[in-house]
């Protein structure tokens, strides 16, 4: 199968591209390296086709989708705080970029688009665990933009008969996640702080809950979604289906790394969701998805990866 991974030099995209290569697929990556890194793909760069460009350009999207069977659309600016600071750019990348991908895929005869949606769409909906039919209550510009992409996927499935699948990721972590960015997710930031003996910063009281999901589980869900016989336009939660508090996460990482950190609690950030846990029964039943890497193992593997790279 010939595939395109948008955002393929990013954290999740590079892990997915590597897995696709391992299965014998022909892989093309489109990335503008705004948040992705060449180091993420250097170990297999000679086995892929790399297209550099921005999805805000319809012409670039057209070029990238030519001749592919499936598009895995992961390109975005993945940060709630960034979207609060700069909603215009978040919208342009996530909404206009997704529309360009869908239009190009439609016109090029692509069989299916697998879209990286986000659990942020649920916001503070009181239903917990989250199930896919719950009413979205997005709190941040990022959540609104990612939800708009879902709606575009469903519209293209209904109007243009383009097969689409949306996967709502829950707090993905693992190797290649960038700890350097000011918008880094909590786990790489905590690992780096513990390794360097620095104070860990938690926004809020630390009792907020998250369904942390190791990247291999997300990769597996994408692979399943690319071939499964499912109703076009469907939405699936992708997670471990279990949540922990941020304070518990700190204790787990401290135990794994053998460090006892100082923790500073700051006021909760604007648009942060209080509690988040996924119901993954739909993905289990329809996709055959089953998370194989649980939190402790995922944290151990992530710590090992970061430690090996200093």
CA dist 43 and 30 (Å) reads: 17
* Structural contact between residues 12 and 175, judged by C-beta atoms closer than 8 angstroms: no
CA dist 294 and 203 (Å) reads: 25
Contacts of 308 (CB under 8 A, 6+ apart): none
* Structural contact between residues 279 and 131, judged by C-beta atoms closer than 8 angstroms: yes
Q: Phi and psi dihedrals of 291, rounded to 5?
A: -65, 125
Clarify whether 115 is annotated catalytic.
Answer: no
Contacts of 46 (CB under 8 A, 6+ apart): none
CA dist 295 and 115 (Å) reads: 24
CA dist 3 and 273 (Å) reads: 34
Contacts of 49 (CB under 8 A, 6+ apart): 26, 27, 28, 29
CA dist 126 and 124 (Å) reads: 6
CA dist 182 and 86 (Å) reads: 14
Q: Determine the straight-line distance between the first and last CA of the chain, rounded to whole angstroms.
A: 37
**Which residue among 122, 142, 152, 289 is the active-site one?**
142
* Structural contact between residues 162 and 113, judged by C-beta atoms closer than 8 angstroms: yes
CA dist 172 and 190 (Å) reads: 14
Which tokens in the block code for residue 142?
């990022």
Could you list the active site residues?
142
């Amino acid at each position: 199968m010939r595939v395109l991974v948008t955002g393929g030099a990013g954290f999740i995209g590079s892990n997915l591209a590597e897995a696709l290569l391992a299965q014998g697929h022909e892989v093309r990556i489109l990335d503008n390296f705004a948040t992705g890194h060449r180091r993420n793909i250097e170990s297999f760069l000679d086995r892929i086709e790399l297209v550099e460009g921005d999805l805000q350009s319809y012409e670039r999207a057209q070029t990238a989708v030519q001749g592919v069977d499936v598009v895995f659309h992961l390109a975005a600016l993945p940060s709630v705080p960034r979207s609060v600071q700069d909603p215009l750019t978040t919208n342009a990348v996530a909404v206009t970029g997704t529309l360009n991908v869908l239009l190009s895929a439609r016109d090029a005869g692509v069989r299916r688009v697998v879209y990286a949606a986000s659990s942020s769409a649920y916001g503070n909906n009181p239903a917990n665990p989250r199930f896919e039919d719950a009413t979205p209550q997005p709190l941040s510009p990022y959540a609104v933009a990612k939800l708009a992409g879902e709606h575009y996927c469903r519209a293209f499935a209904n109007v243009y008969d383009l097969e689409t699948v949306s996967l709502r990721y829950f707090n993905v972590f693992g190797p290649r996640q960038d700890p350097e960015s000011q918008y880094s997710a909590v786990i790489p930031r905590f690992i780096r702080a513990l390794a360097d003996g620095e104070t860990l910063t938690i926004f809020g009281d630390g009792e907020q809950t998250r369904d942390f999901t190791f990247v291999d589980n997300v990769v597996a869900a994408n692979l399943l979604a690319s071939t499964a016989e499912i109703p076009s336009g469907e939405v699936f939660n992708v997670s471990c289906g279990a949540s922990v508090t941020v304070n518990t996460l700190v204790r787990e990482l401290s135990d794994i790394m053998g460090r006892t950190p100082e923790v500073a609690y700051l006021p909760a950030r604007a648009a942060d969701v209080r509690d988040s846990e996924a119901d993954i029964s739909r993905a289990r039943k329809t996709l055959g998805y089953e998370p194989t890497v649980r939190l402790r193992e995922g944290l151990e593997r992530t710590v090992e990866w970061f430690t090996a790279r200093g």
